Amino acid sequence: MRLLITGAAGMLGRDVADAARRGGHDVVALARADLDVTDAAAVRAAVAAARPDAVVNCAAWTDVDGAESAEDRATAVNGEGAGHVAAAAAAVGAFTVAVSSDYVFDGAAREPYTESAATAPLGAYGRSKLAGEHAVAAAAPDLHAIVRTSWLFGAHGPNFVATMLRLAHERDELTVVDDQVGCPTFTGHLAPALLSIARYRRPGILHVAGSGCCSWWDLARATFERAGHDVRIHPGRTEDLGRPAPRPAWSALGTERADTPVLPAWQDGLDAYLECVGVLA
């Protein structure tokens, strides 16, 4: 498969590119410096030149709090930009895999959200990702998959687990919120799942995240236990953080589709990540 990856210098994009190369695929990996997805003409030219069989769009605005004061810029990337990629791919008959987010939900549920659940984003970031879903579906009606995932962590970018490991060397006591629940997802596990979706052209919306769910407090505790750090963790409340962007209290993802790739448990993803960064032998 000839594969074009946008956002290829990011945490997820790098893992997708690495997994594709290991799988023997012909890879064209474009970082933001190579291709700005907000430039429709540049996207059309890049995709036309690459002539891929599939495109995995990992280009994204990921600053959740920053999106609150820059929603137009976030939506230009996550919304219109995603549509540009899908339209350019469809023009050459390529299948698009667009990565979306659990933040398209409001967090009011108490069971995992499935693909048909009603969306109702709480903040600008979630709205920008939902705009991207709509743009992709409109631009490539029969040639797209929208993959919602959550709580990403990986070896090639800043993430919650990396932050916890750093803080473990600076403090012996921390407060971590326990009133947000989601599915931590190791990008090293997500990447091959995205490639499978691209290869077999599984259409529509799919929820692909680490199996099981937990709170940020649970993830911090598991990180310290596995890494051998003696850190006392106090449970905290999201409202006490004073962050600009609202967060869904519950954003666990489930699936109602038999063809959805199933990822390993989030705990296995954590172990794999810790091995990648040299914390576990």
Query: Which residues are catalytically annotated?
Result: 125
Unique residue bearing structure tokens 């596995």: 226
Cα–Cα nearest to 10, from 24, 27, 29:
29
Is residue 190 helix, strand or coil? helix
Residue 240, sorted as left (phi over 0), alpha (psi -120 to 50) or beta, turns out to be alpha
Burial of 278 (0-12, 13-18, 19+ CB in 10 A): exposed
User: Which residues are CB-contacts of 111 (< 8 A; sequence separation ≥ 6)?
Assistant: 252, 254
d(CA 27, CA 6): 11
User: Which residue type is seen at 218?
Assistant: D
Longest alpha-carbon distance in the chain: 55
